[in-house]
Structure 1
Amino acid sequence: MELVVQPLGRSLAVKAGDNLLEVLQENGIPVSYSCRAGRCGTCRCKVIEGKVLESAGDAKITNPGEGNHVLACMSVLTENCVVEIPEPDEIVAHPARILRASVAAIEDLTHDIKRLVLKSPKPLSFSPGQYAILQFTPEHIRPYSMAGLPEDDTLEFHIRYVPNGRVTGYVFKELKVGDPVRVSGPMGTAYLRKKHEGPVLCIAGGTGLAPVLSIVRSATAMKMTNPIHLYFGVRSSADIYGQDWLKQLSEINPNLHVQVVIATNEPGAAHRVGLVTDSVSKDWKDLRDWRAYLCGAPPMVEAATLIAKSKGIAMEHIYADAFYASAN
């Protein structure tokens, strides 16, 4: 059997039953990975021709043209095929780790958002924009995005309270400084592409600001010269946070441009009013050659994805992280 890897154009001899990620790594093909268990999404690639068998969840055959993105770590080769791996010059390899951290600080950011700071004896290697699984107790486990830099000596998360939410209720009402927290990660594909030199669009809804902050902080620390246009959408002025951080970053990084958009029309509002996606649509006609990072509630991320695509950003250059609320 033959596996053709695009865009490298390499042809590899393989056997039926071979794992796609293992084949790529054994042949020196650069590919992102982390957990190797189908959870992090980092090794996502595209089937162009042929079929592979996905073993994540219910096993299924993936054909070109019908949900043709697969996770390499969960994919078994069954016949000749052509696979496209994304951006071979932007590979990240952070082997998944489990850290035993403790709560260093819990701070109020708004009436329903807390800043959680964790300290661990060992660092967590991650790319800006990724997330980790936090386990506060065996019954209280949820994913949250890092807001800081990989080189920080602490891990920072922003957590919004979900009414009747079991995990957020625990964080807001019971978690204390000094409590242990199990950290697993990193995960996620909406990480900063450091080699891209063109303009960047960041759209953050609510606590979607956390991974966007990580991305902008890292781009600023690395002195990347990309124009960065950050749109921060919230429900009302009471939900705005992080303004001091954004102001400081804008003072350091003249290429950073921040727009805060509130959904409700308030008397004397100091910010733009309406949907954050509408503001982006009004401001830009052509976003070709841009990269987009979209983080927040699923409806916002879906709407932002459609707008980014309609303005000319290729789907493979739209990096989305949708935050799904849960009462569990």
Structure 2
Amino acid sequence: MEIHIRPLNRSISVQSGANLLEALRDHQVPMSYSCMAGRCGTCRCKVVEGTVLAGSADSFQPGGSGDPYVLACQTFVTEPCTIEIPEPDEIVVHPARAIKASVVAIEDVTHDIKRLRLKPAKPLEFSPGQYAHLQFSPEHIRPYSMAGLCGDGEMEFHVRLVPQGRVTGFIASTLKVGDAVRVSGPLGSAYLRRKHAGPMLCVAGGTGLAPILSIVRGALAEGMGNPIHLYFGVRSPRDVYGLEWLQDLKRDYVDLHVHVVVASSNGQVQKGHRTGLVTEAIDADWGALKDWRAYLCGAPPMVEAASLLVKRKGIAAEQIYADAFYSSGT
């Protein structure tokens, strides 16, 4: 039985019931992966033709209802099929690990956002834009995106305090400098594509600024010269933070353009900042976005609205890298 691989235009022979990721690896097909357990989303690929068994779900066929994408590590091949893998020249393999870290600092950056800095006992390899699970106690675990790079020596996370939030309340009232934290990862497929040379649209909503900072810092560290247009959307003027970090990046990255957009200003918006929704600002600024890449990080409604907008403006779905911050389990 054969699997045809796009865009490589290559076929591989496998046995019925073979795990898709294992088959790709056995035949040296370039494929990103990390956790191997269906959690990180790194091995996401598209079923173009044929039927596969996607995890514990029923058989999946393209053209039916639902998402045409599957996770290769959780997918089993049941008949000849065609699979489209993402960007074979942009493979990242960071085997998921769990490491110990200690709290270095817990800093207020706004009225409801804290900057958490951890010192890992061992380095954790990750690509800019990925996230990890932080476990503060057996009952307090939540995913947060890294704001820095894996070579920084410290790990930085931005935590928005949620009213009655179990984990964020623990961070705000109980966690202290010196406490141990278990860090598990990396997770996520919304990481920096280093070989892309065209313009980049980076959209951050609230603490979605953390992974966007990581992506821009990664582009700077890699010596990339892509034009980067960063839109940072917040609810009100008091929710704006990180301006000094953005200014530092603008100084060092020549073609970085930062747009701060405040949804509700009440006449108090800072000079140079814009008012309205971040998607409205992008829509007003740009016509066609063909050959761009988009990185979208923040609350699900913003990520969904921005994704629909940039698709309409010409960015292909497979070139939109989104990380939606869900509030469940906070």
Q: Distance in 1 between matches of 2:59 and 2:287?
A: 39
Q: CA deviation at 1:265?
A: 2.9
What corresponds to 1:133 in structure 2?
133
Question: SS of the residue aligned with 1:34?
Answer: coil
Q: Percent identity, please.
A: 64
1:248 aligned to 2:248?
Answer: yes
**Residue type matched to 1:212 in 2?**
I
What corresponds to 1:290 in structure 2?
292
Q: Distance in 1 between matches of 2:96 and 2:63?
A: 31
Matches within 5 A, 1:50-65: 50-55=50-55, 58-65=56-63
Matches within 5 A, 1:67-82: 67-82=67-82
TM-score (norm 2): 0.97
**Residue type matched to 1:195 in 2?**
K
Q: CA deviation at 1:103?
A: 0.6
- Asked if the contact 2:128/2:149 (under 8 Å) is kept, the reply is yes
**Residue type matched to 1:61 in 2?**
S
Q: CA deviation at 1:268?
A: 4.4
Deviations 1:162-199 (A, max 9, x none): 10010000001100011110100000010000000000
What corresponds to 1:208 in structure 2?
208
Question: SS of the residue aligned with 2:307?
Answer: helix
Q: Distance in 2 between matches of 1:103 and 1:84?
A: 42
**Residue type matched to 2:58 in 1?**
K
Deviations 1:54-90 (A, max 9, x none): 12xx422111123221100001110011101010000
What corresponds to 2:84 in structure 1?
84
Q: Distance in 2 between matches of 1:41 and 1:327?
A: 19
Question: SS of the residue aligned with 2:59?
Answer: strand
Q: CA deviation at 1:300?
A: 0.2
Q: Distance in 2 between matches of 1:60 and 1:146?
A: 35
Q: CA deviation at 1:223?
A: 1.9
- Asked if the contact 1:165/1:326 (under 8 Å) is kept, the reply is no
Q: Distance in 1 between matches of 2:307 and 2:114?
A: 28
Q: Distance in 1 between matches of 2:63 and 2:283?
A: 29
**Residue type matched to 1:206 in 2?**
G
What corresponds to 1:172 in structure 2?
172
1:203–1:3 distance in 2 versus 1, CA, 3 Å: same
Q: CA deviation at 1:327?
A: 5.0
Deviates more, 1:62-71 or 1:179-188: 62-71
Q: Distance in 1 between matches of 2:268 and 2:104?
A: 38
- Asked if the contact 2:129/2:191 (under 8 Å) is kept, the reply is yes
- Asked if the contact 2:233/2:263 (under 8 Å) is kept, the reply is yes
1:49 aligned to 2:49?
Answer: yes
Question: SS of the residue aligned with 1:170?
Answer: helix
Q: CA deviation at 1:13?
A: 1.1
Q: Distance in 1 between matches of 2:220 and 2:11?
A: 39
Q: CA deviation at 1:151?
A: 1.0
Q: Distance in 2 between matches of 1:125 and 1:193?
A: 16
Deviations 1:83-121 (A, max 9, x none): 010100000000000001111111111010000011112
Matches within 5 A, 1:1-328: 1-55=1-55, 58-66=56-64, 67-270=67-270, 271-328=273-330
The alignment's C-alpha RMSD in Å is 0.9
- Asked if the contact 2:237/2:265 (under 8 Å) is kept, the reply is no
Deviates more, 1:63-72 or 1:87-96: 63-72
Q: Distance in 1 between matches of 2:268 and 2:205?
A: 22
Question: SS of the residue aligned with 1:238?
Answer: helix
**Residue type matched to 2:287 in 1?**
K
**Residue type matched to 1:311 in 2?**
K
Count matched residues: 326
TM-score (norm 1): 0.98
Deviations 1:260-298 (A, max 9, x none): 000113224221000011000000001000000000000
Question: SS of the residue aligned with 2:134?
Answer: strand
Question: SS of the residue aligned with 2:82?
Answer: strand
- Asked if the contact 2:212/2:297 (under 8 Å) is kept, the reply is yes
Question: SS of the residue aligned with 1:295?
Answer: strand
Question: SS of the residue aligned with 2:127?
Answer: coil
- Asked if the contact 1:162/1:327 (under 8 Å) is kept, the reply is no
**Residue type matched to 2:185 in 1?**
G
List alignment gaps of at least 5 residues for structure 2: none
Q: Distance in 2 between matches of 1:24 and 1:209?
A: 34
List alignment gaps of at least 5 residues for structure 1: none
- Asked if the contact 2:203/2:232 (under 8 Å) is kept, the reply is yes
**Residue type matched to 1:213 in 2?**
L
Question: SS of the residue aligned with 1:17?
Answer: coil
Question: SS of the residue aligned with 1:300?
Answer: helix
Q: Distance in 1 between matches of 2:252 and 2:206?
A: 24
